Chains A and B, each alone.
Chain A
Amino acid sequence: MSPEKDYISAYLDGEISAGWKNRIERLATEDEELRDTLDRHRAVHETLQSQSEPDFADVAERSWSIVCRRIAESSGQTIPEVEKVLNRRRKPVSVWRRKVSVPIPVATAAALAVVFLTAFVLIRLSGINRIDPSEATVAQTMDGLKVTVSAKDVEQLLEILNGQNKVQNVKIELPVKHQFQMIGQPVLLRASDGFGSFR
């Protein structure tokens, strides 16, 4: 068989390039054997195209009945029981129940993408409602502005205040005309003990 004859089926199906198509048509005018081959292929092609597609449903049903009968014979069950079991398995699986296997790296990447996307959306939305500093000043002077402090109870609030480690400092200027000197050790005592100006 010449190479051209290998392309006869493709030629008849219209699946060949223009160059090969012209070459086959030109050879068919010169080569009688090729022309006969083409005619036979064309006749088969047209015959297949003209006939309707056979209905396999009846065949499938008959095959299914045979399968059920053979399973019933081998398992000792009745044919309706076998059909019931097999029909249950033939039902299409719901999309939500269908098992989907995804590689772990892909699943991790997808989870990270969801987290970042959520964070991005939230940041953008919070940015939309952000108050200008000048507006914030006005807002703080408005009556009824609620301020909340994150603390479990007043003890924690006191700890927060104490944590600032600030000491109230008062400066006192003593009279400059007096000269002082150390007398002894510093003393802390009750006034009721009757010392000093409390005698």
Chain B
Amino acid sequence: MIRKVSAAFLLFAAVGTSAYAFDVEHALKLLMDKALSVHITARVTEDGKQTIWNMNLSEVTISGRAVSIRLNGSNIVVVAQFTPYQETGSQVLLVAQGQTWITSPVNKEVKYATSFKSLPINLGESVLFYPLGVNLQTEKYGNINIELEIQVVPYISDKSKEKGDTGSANQNQK
């Protein structure tokens, strides 16, 4: 009898809370509909023209969740965070945060630079981020520079993507 009463009580409690609970499969579908894919191409360029090294990667994220990459070089560490904030329609506000630690081969001092940039873009539009900077007036890119190309597109769930990792990377060196 006590068990029946308790079961009825628990059932009542479950019914009371079921209005705020839904199937995780349904939730994941809704989540995937709002998921974004961030494609990043990291390049090392020479004179700002010729690509001497590049690497592609893709990460799946959602609006407001950052994708962070860390570039480790012989005398440099760059940490860049790209956070897409989806606005109405195909509009996305891309926020780029960059931190750079670079050592000088001459006096061994460490320079630190940080930046916080944002740019409204359309889904699928490519943007470029130069953590080491460029001189836009003279278009001086330096002898060796780092260029990050970012593209935010809606995440499309297909079997080929489900088989692989949510993130993928390809590297090419010339």
B54–chain A nearest beta-carbon distance, Å = 9
Which of A182, A195, A197, A199 is the one whose CB lies under 8 Å from B100? A182
Query: Main SS of the interface on chain A?
Result: mixed
Instruction: Please tell me if the beta carbons of A178 and B133 are within 8 angstroms of each other in the complex.
Output: no
Query: Main SS of the interface on chain B?
Result: strand
Total contacts A-B at CB 8 Å: 212
Residues of B within 8 A of A178 (CB): 44, 52-53, 73-74, 144
Contact with B along A138-165 (1 / 0, CB 8 A): 0000000011111110100110011000
Instruction: Please tell me if the beta carbons of B55 and A195 are within 8 angstroms of each other in the complex.
Output: no
Q: Which of A170, A179, A188 has the most CB of B within 10 A?
A: A188
A181 within 8 A of B: yes
Number of interface residues of A (CB under 8 A): 47
Residues of B within 8 A of A195 (CB): 128, 134, 136, 139
A98 within 8 A of B: no
Considering the chains assembled together, what is the distance between the CA atoms of A155 and B63 in angstroms?
Answer: 11
Considering the chains assembled together, what is the distance between the CA atoms of A170 and B81 in angstroms?
Answer: 10
Which of A168, A179, A186 is the one whose CB lies under 8 Å from B144? A179
Interface size range on B against A:
35 or more
Identify the A interface with B (CB < 8 A). 121-122, 125, 146-152, 154, 157-158, 161-162, 166-192, 195-199
Identify the B interface with A (CB < 8 A). 2-3, 6, 9-10, 17, 20-24, 27, 30-31, 34, 40, 42-45, 48-53, 55, 57, 59, 61-76, 81, 94, 96, 98, 100, 102, 104-105, 111, 113, 115, 117-119, 121, 125-136, 139-142, 144-147, 149, 167, 169, 173
